[in-house]
């Protein structure tokens, strides 16, 4: 097991299987189809992201460098949480961007019984170490354990 320490953006604990992308995560392109057409597993619809395309994201530990794409990204992330199709957690190797932070924080504040802990600043070593299928546990203090 390897441990990484990041900054807590939205609090909480989680234990989930990792899905990993080394490219930017386009929130709208990835989640629009599952949200629009009722895919409860939230299979990634972004054909430009070969790491994630077609893989379920709901309930997974989404490991990524940063989000990219349109200004709707925060709203799409919030909607995924409201529809209970969100990742179990989001783990950023870089600083989170303001749009993803807004979506995650609004979901944390406005939605009851919805949890999506977010930790950023985990570093390049984290993203290079973690692989699809590894189990990840997040602690309240931003410690991420990768098994």
Task: Report how many domains make up the chain.
Answer: 1
Radius of gyration of the CA atoms of the chain, in A = 13
* Alpha helix segments (H runs only) across the chain: 27-37, 73-82, 98-110, 124-129
Mean per-residue pLDDT, 84-110: 97
CATH classification of the domain holding 128: 3.50.30.10
Mean per-residue pLDDT, 51-60: 98
CA nearest neighbour of 68 among 44, 88, 98:
98
pLDDT digits (tens, 9 = 90+) for 98-125: 999 999 999 999 999 999 999 999 999 9
Please count the CA atoms within 13 angstroms of the CA of 117 that sit on its side-chain side: 22
Domain that residue 68 falls in: 2-146
- Verdict on whether the full-model pTM lies above 0.85: yes
CA dist., res. 61 & res. 40, Å (int)? 16
């Amino acid at each position: 097991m390897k441990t990484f320490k990041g900054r807590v953006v939205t609090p909480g604990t989680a234990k989930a299987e990792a899905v990993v992308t080394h490219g930017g995560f386009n929130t709208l392109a990835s989640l629009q189809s599952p949200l629009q057409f009722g895919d409860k597993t939230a299979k990634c619809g972004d054909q430009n992201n070969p790491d994630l395309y077609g893989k379920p994201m709901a309930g997974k530990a989404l490991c990524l460098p940063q989000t990219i794409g349109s200004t709707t990204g925060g709203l799409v992330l919030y909607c995924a949480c409201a529809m209970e199709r969100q990742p179990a957690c989001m783990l950023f190797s870089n600083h989170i961007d303001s749009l993803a932070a807004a979506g995650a924080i609004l979901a944390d504040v406005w939605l009851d019984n919805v949890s999506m802990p977010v930790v950023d600043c985990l570093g390049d070593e984290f993203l290079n170490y973690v692989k699809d299928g590894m189990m990840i546990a997040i602690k309240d203090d931003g410690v991420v354990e990768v098994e």
